[in-house]
Amino acid sequence: MSRAAVPGLPSPHPIGELLPALFADDDFAQRFTAGLDTVLAPVFATLDNLPAYFEPRLAPEDFLTWLASWVAIETDPAWPAEVRRTVVRRAIELHRRRGTRRGLTERLRLILGVGAQIVDGGGVAWSTTPGAALPPAPSGELLVRVWPERGAAAVVEEQVLAVVRACCPVHLTCRVQMLPGPPVAPASPASPDSPDSPDSPGPAGRAEN
C-alpha cells in the first residue's frame, strides 16, 4: 500500500467523466482533469483500504510505528517488519503479562528469538527457634539467562539488555548471562562408581559474561 502517487493507478471516479457534456470532447479539459485524477487516485485507494491500515499484519511499514503508539508499545526500527507486526498485534497480551516471568520470557523469544530462564531469588524463610534473628533482606537482583534457539541468529547482549530493562520491575537490579545453549538441569544423586558421581571428572564449568 502506498499513499503517494502510483504510476498507472486509475481513479475510481475520473473527474473528466463528471464534467458537463460540453467538456466531454475538450482535449485540454480532459488532460487537465486527468492530472488531478493522478493526484487523487492514491487518496481514494487509501480510503478504500482504510480498514487494512488498522490491521498490524497488513498495515504499511511506515504506519506501524504510529499504530504501535496507539497501543502503548515501543518498537525498534531495527527489528524485522514481521516482528514489529507481531508485537503490535499481541500488545494487549504483552501488557497483561508485563513484569512477570512469563511476560519477559515471551518478549525475549518474540523479539529476539532467544530462550530465557528467569531467576528472581524469591522464597521464604523460617526458624524453629522463637526470637531468632530475621533473615537478611532479599538481594533484589533479577538474573536472566538467555541462549539462541535453534535457527536463530547470534544473540546480541545489548539488545537483550534493552528488552530486559523495558520489562524489569523498577525495584529490581537486572543482570543478563549469555549462554551457548539451554542450561542443563542438575543431575540426580549418583553412586560413587557412577560416571555422574561428584568424584568423577565432569565437564568444565562455564564462565559468566
- Cα distance between residue 52 and residue 188, in whole Å: 55
Please give the average per-residue pLDDT across 39-45, as a whole number: 89
Torsion sign, CA atoms 76, 77, 79, 82: positive
- pLDDT band at 175, cuts 50/70/90? confident
Q: Is residue 130 part of a domain?
A: no
What's at 103, amino acid-wise?
Answer: G
For residue 202, tell me if it sits in a domain. Answer: no
* Alpha helices (runs of H) in 71-154, residue ranges in sequence order: 81-89, 91-96, 101-112
Residues 44 and 103 in one domain: no
Please report whether residue 206 resides in a domain.
no
Q: Rounded CA gap, 144 and 101, in Å?
A: 10
Position 186 confidence tier, pLDDT thresholds 50, 70, 90: low
Question: What backbone torsions phi and psi does residue 106 show, to the nearest 5 degrees?
Answer: -65, -40
The mean pLDDT value of the chain amounts to 81
Kindly indicate the confidence band of residue 196, based on its pLDDT and cuts at 50, 70 and 90: very low
The single-letter code of the amino acid at 138 is P
For the segment 115-165, what is each residue's pLDDT rounded down to a tens digit? 998 887 666 777 888 888 877 766 678 889 999 886 666 778 888 888 888
pTM above 0.95, yes or no: no
Inform me whether the pLDDT recorded for 209 exceeds 70. Answer: no
pLDDT-based confidence at residue 89 (cuts at 50, 70, 90): very high
Residue 117 lies in a domain: yes
* The pLDDT value given to residue 151: 65
Q: Which residues of 154-166 are buried (b: 16+ CB within 10 A; e: fewer)?
A: ebeeebbeebbee
- Please count the structural domains in the chain: 2
Residue 189 lies in a domain: no
Asked if residue 118 and residue 43 are part of one domain, the reply reads no
Q: Is 161 within the bounds of a domain?
A: yes
- CATH number at 119 reads 3.30.300
The residue out of 31, 48, 65 marking a domain boundary is 48
Q: Is residue 179 part of a domain?
A: yes
Q: Provide the domain limits for residue 167.
A: 99-123+139-184
pLDDT level of residue 195 (50, 70, 90 thresholds): very low
Top pLDDT among 205 and 77 is at 77
| 152 is a domain residue | yes
3-state DSSP assignment of residue 168: coil
